[in-house]
Structure 1
């Protein structure tokens, strides 16, 4: 039988989820820039800026829970 997940497994899963949130927000900003006809530099800047916003969002969400 499979037992409940250990504390380490739960922590690892939460870390993967947090990283995924930041990556998804960053890539979303890049895709929006691509759809708007942005240059490669603009897309890269949008991904960086989106990742920073995603990290801030994640920090807020962790703070309120």
Structure 2
């Protein structure tokens, strides 16, 4: 039987980057959507901040939910 091709540290780093990327994608998306309403810079910052919080919560939920279906290592 062949072992895994990446180490546990590499897998953890990749997972961390994916989580950060997901949060940032949602945060930037909220800021871009807010541009449709001709906002002030403060409103754009508030939209991005709120979207980052929502993105963190969504990422936590998705990771926790998918963890129930993944094989235990």
Name stretches of at least 5 consecutive residues in structure 2 with no aligned partner. Answer: 67-73
TM-score for both structures, normalised by structure 2? 0.81
1:35: Cα distance to partner?
Answer: 2.3
Aligned position for 1:10: 11
Aligned position for 1:41: 42
Task: Return the index of the structure with the highest Cα Rg.
Answer: 2
CA displacement, residues 12-39 of structure 1 (integer Å, 9 cap, x when unaligned): 0000000000001001000111122111
Aligned position for 1:23: 24
Report the Cα distance in structure 2 between the residues aligned to 1:27 and 1:50, rounded to whole angstroms: 8
Aligned position for 1:63: 64
RMSD, aligned CA: 1.2
Structure 1: which 4+ aligned runs deviate by more than 4 Å?
none
Q: How many residues align?
A: 63
Greater share of residues in helix: 1
Name stretches of at least 5 consecutive residues in structure 1 with no aligned partner. Answer: none
TM-score for both structures, normalised by structure 1? 0.90
